[in-house]
Every structure is written in C-alpha cells, then in structure tokens.
Structure 1
C-alpha cells in the first residue's frame, strides 16, 4: 500500500466535507478497495471510512410499503433485516462468506458496480431508487457499464429504496473460488410487469433482459422463455466459462429463478 490519511466521520455531513478533496476515496466495508490498495492499483491520499455513520445503517419500512436500506448496511444485516423482501434478504445471505457479509456494505457494492456482483441485479431487477447525499437516481439510470455508475466524484450512497414485488427470486450460478456470480438473475413480478436483471454475464455489467421481461409479463412461467436467448457476443469469456456458455446459462438461470418465484 501507499501512505494515506484516514478519517472516520460520525455524520454524513462530515463525510461529505471530508470527501471534498480531489484525492479522497470513500471506504465502505473495504472488501474491494482494500485488496485494490494492497495491489497498488489505487493510491488515494485520504480514505474516508463510512462505517461510523449511524444514519446510513439499518433496514426500515418505506412510506410506500417498500424496504429502505442504509448505504452503510452490511450484507449480513440486510440478510437478517429485510424480511419484508425475502428475495433481497436471500440474495444478501449468498454474498461471499460470513466474513465478507459481516464487513461488506450495500452502498459499497453498488458504488463499485462489479460486473459479477449480486446487488446490482437486485437494484436493477427491482427498479430501486439509489439515494445519495445530493440526489435520487433510478436504477435504470444508475448503472453505466463495467465498474461505471452515474455517481459524481465525492457522491455518497446514503440509502437504497426497494419497492417490494408480488413475487421475486434471485438465482445465482456461483463461481466457487470467489462466490461471485458466474451468472446471476434477479426476477421480480410487479403489477405493471416483470423485470429481469442479469449479472455476471455481460462485458457491460448488469443488464435487463427485455425479451424475457415481455414474455414473462404475458405468461409468468419458465416455459415462456423457451426459444429465447441472449447473444454470445458481448458476454464475458474467461477461464471460468466461454461467452457461449454464459449466454446459455442466462436462459437456464432465468428459468430457475422464475420457477422458484412462482
């Protein structure tokens, strides 16, 4: 690691002030950033820890019957506290291992937007609202590609608001070494239609599978997906699976998610 200053504010206002510097970097649970620093792939002058900000932690009920999760809430706390949205709680309980779930946060995961992370699929599949210290961003407008988001420099995710669907399920084909999704699919059925978000598969990061959404909105069953496929071009190809393999898995895993949700 390179030398850096460390700050741990206790309020959001103090965190925003600390992040005002050009070389400041927010630190959530550190599950991605700390390994990055160890490999000297990043060298911020100041690390601003968000773990001591009580107003950014916890799970609560939204005014519209949804679920509101503070940006500094750990995966373990989401798994234990989001019982009003069982599919989301189950997703959080599958992330990494107990040590990762005890430290990693939903805000950190969404800010990093790893192309194989689980929370981006939940946020996009649910049509969630990402709330920052400056504004509100719809999930459809938030994800901009691999490791890219709509966040501005110094912007902090304070909470995420999830509308609770009629039915939902997250199905994950696990890459055993990392526990990331080789392919993960979040399916959510709302009164106005079905949303399908896929993670782990595309070189552009999480995406909505619009063909599947149209088919499932008309007939919410695995059979509605027969004959549908995503193109292999643009899928991730690596030692864990070829582009064609991941494209095939998208259909398989989506069918499993629909069956489980239904």
Structure 2
C-alpha cells in the first residue's frame, strides 16, 4: 500500500511526474513555481567558471538585508532586501532592487527604531518565497557582494533551505575582507568607519537599499585601488583575499 502521508505522496508524485507537479501538489501553484525557479537558478549558478573574468568588466550585485535580529536559525527573519547592480567599478544607480518581506512574526521595537520598518508595513509585504524568487531573478548569475557578508549569507541560506531546500551557490565577496587586505593596519572596518574614510556621504543607514548603494560606492573606490595593484581577474582577487 502506498504511503499517502504528505511526504510519501510528494515522493510518489515526484517519481510519476517530476519536481514541479510534486511541489504543486503540496503548495499553491504560485509558491511551487517560485520554488522551482529558485532551485533552477541555484543549480545553474556554478556551471561556468568566473575566475577568468576581468575585474573591469565583472558584473556584481551589491546587496543588504534588514532582519529582525542576528540568528536566522533561532527564529529571526528577513524584513527587507536591497540591491544594486555594478559593472566593473560603475554603480548602475538605475538598476536597483528593494522589497520588504512579511516576517510572520513581531518585529522587535529596537529593530523598528533602527530600520523604520513597522509591523504594519511588514504585515502588508509579500511572503519570503516570493521576494526571494524576485531577488534571485534580479541577481541572475552575478557575483554577490556585501559588507560583512557572513550575516547576510547565513540569512539567505536559511531562507533558501526553508523555502526551496537548496543552499546559496553564488560566488560572494566581502567588502570588509577587501578593506582588511587594502588597509591591514586599520582597526575599524565597520561600514560607517569605511564610508567616513572614503568621504562617501551617508544617506540613510539601516535601510537595505541605501546601505547597498553606499556599499557599492565603497566597492567602486576599492576597485580603483585593486586595479592599481595589478589585480586583473576575479581569480587573482580570490587568491589574494584567501591569505586574509
């Protein structure tokens, strides 16, 4: 007798017709479509080596997340995504992404004060899987860059696994690690400190898109210094950063 409990039914449908019909049987059609899209995007990501790409032509997405706290595996959730495309060192200010997410939980008062995102605003926002799908459509196969990317990467991985049972496969670069390599004696590598050091105007901190735009300007300045050191490709840059 076939196991027709949810997991057993999904496995049976998967064997009969593949992933998408199986997902559709367990979720509404839109969520199933978004999940299938996320899975296909992540599967395609590592097929082409990016190491030989010249830095002056490299396409990246600088991004930032706002979250309800610091622990994605202990109940904290993403409440907004912000991102901007950059080609080489040129920030594409007309090519940006910003969306809030409904975290399905109360946002702590200190996070409301920090980000300006209220429970009412988040309550009207789309669910995580839809925004995650839109974000990956914006990113495509580009390299992801953020300041202190470990925080954002852990939240992305948690979101990808919970919604689609996949892990992030995009190549990533950390602005903080690049700053550490460029300025080995500098003690404070926080975003505010680096923005001040490079005379980049601070617009709105702890707004995902504004933080991404300011971080992209930092990347642009870093690119000038990196190329001045005869670092020509992504592979060269990874090799240098691996020692830091």
Structure holding more helix per residue: 2
Structure holding more strand per residue: 1
Report which structure shows greater RCO (CA 8 Å, sep ≥6): 2
TM-score w.r.t. the length of structure 2 is 0.29
Larger Rg: 2
